[in-house]
Amino acid sequence: MTLTGRRPAPPTALKDVMATPHVARLLAGTLLGRLPNGMAPAALVLLVTHSGGSVAFGGTLSALYILASALSQPVKGRLLDRHGQTRVSGPAALINAASLLTLAFVSARTQPALATALVALAGTCTPPLEAGLRALWSSVLPDPGQRRVALAADTGSQGLLFVVGPMLAAFLASQYGTGAALAATAATGLTGSLTVLTSAPSRHWRAPARNPASRSTLANPALLRLLLALPGIGAATGAVTVWAVAMAEQHATDMLTGLIPGAYAAGSLLGGLLYGRRPWPGNTTTHLLAGTAAFTVAWLPLLTLPGPGPAIALVLLPGLFLPVVITSAFLTADRLAPAGNLTETCAWMILALGVGTASGTALGGALATHPLPAAALPLAGAAAALTVLSTTRRHRAPTTTR
């Protein structure tokens, strides 16, 4: 016992947090279970084109999978809050895997309606592992400082899913066929889901009782403002992916398609490790605003229309600040979400980011032939998010990070 009679705060070093029971398993299982989010869209495009179908139809199926997964998040989050993780994510993971496996035996060119229905079903039933993990942290890591470290590590590593996933799907399809790529996608998602769902925290987790008098997520002005800001962050991420494709075509260097998003993901991973490495002054509101401002400023160098080498180096900068923004946003939601509604709130945030990413991708494609507007689009998305967040009023007794 200390001289003041207070128990010392739990250690917040990453290695200590990872050594806490269940943390490593939950992080690893969730990342593995979400790897199909990066594998499936690529595998679907390859499934169509390898059977003689058009790239346009393959892209449509890929977009359908992503949108079905994103749009169903709030419903799945509410079901998690009401019925627990095992009874919701378990069946969802099984249906998702079965749908992807069935697609391996369907000709998308000759059976387009069946393929479309299976893709919609698979996307809708992607298990809500990310929202579920956000809800678990308060029971696994009661200390806010430790939750910040775990969230930063999780957020920082997410970008790798969308770099490793497509590369893995493409490799499997080229070596063993598209059926093998889809089978591996299904197996990976199911294995990761079972790793999480069979853990004690997931099996025993129950949301607090909902207060009938409490407002819903969308009726809370602060949470609604946060939800309106997150699409700008997602748009910046979606836009830089398409900008990488445009850069590859402009400079006749196909590798830039993977190298630029890879550098952005590497910056995010490094930023997550740095943000979780030590306590930072201020509260979550301060971190959210400062992180978003830095994220916005970090996109400015792209307006110089850099060449391939500098472009790879420059996208590391916004990647560094992305985990600060996302981690602070979810910690803010943790504080503001109505009782018994945390998972649904997190699901709405995931949906907001997904809609922003899809919008940024679409706008990036429309501007791809215009170098300066295409390079400015990530900046515009980040600036829009900063503008919305800057109107946020401070709440009483803000949570401090330790």
* 306-348 pLDDT, tens digit each: 999 999 999 999 999 999 999 999 989 888 887 778 888 888 9
- Residue 153 CA to residue 241 CA, distance in Å, equals 22
Question: CB of 156 within 8 A of CB of 273?
Answer: yes
- Residue 241 CA to residue 237 CA, distance in Å, equals 7
Across 62-66, 68-72, 158-162, which has the greatest mean pLDDT?
Answer: 68-72
CA–CA distance from 12 to each of 146, 207, 288, 326 (Å)? 5, 26, 20, 19
In this predicted model, what pLDDT tens digit does every residue of 139-166 receive, in sequence order?
A: 899 888 888 888 888 888 887 887 888 8
Tell me the angle at which helices 316-336 and 144-176 cross, rounded to the nearest 10 degrees: 130
Q: What is the pLDDT of residue 388?
A: 95
In degrees and rounded to multiples of 5, residue 75 shows phi and psi of: -65, -45
Exposure string of 138-148, with b = 16+ CB inside 10 Å and e = fewer, is: eebbeebbbbb
- Residue 398 CA to residue 402 CA, distance in Å, equals 13
31: buried, middle or exposed (CB in 10 Å: 19+, 13-18, 0-12)? buried
Q: Which residue in 141, 198, 135 sits closest to 14, CA to CA?
A: 141
Confidence of residue 264 (pLDDT cuts 50, 70, 90): very high
Confidence of residue 13 (pLDDT cuts 50, 70, 90): confident
Mean pLDDT, to the nearest integer, of 254-283? 86
Residues 6+ apart with CB under 8 A from 212: none
Question: What pTM did the predictor assign?
Answer: 0.80
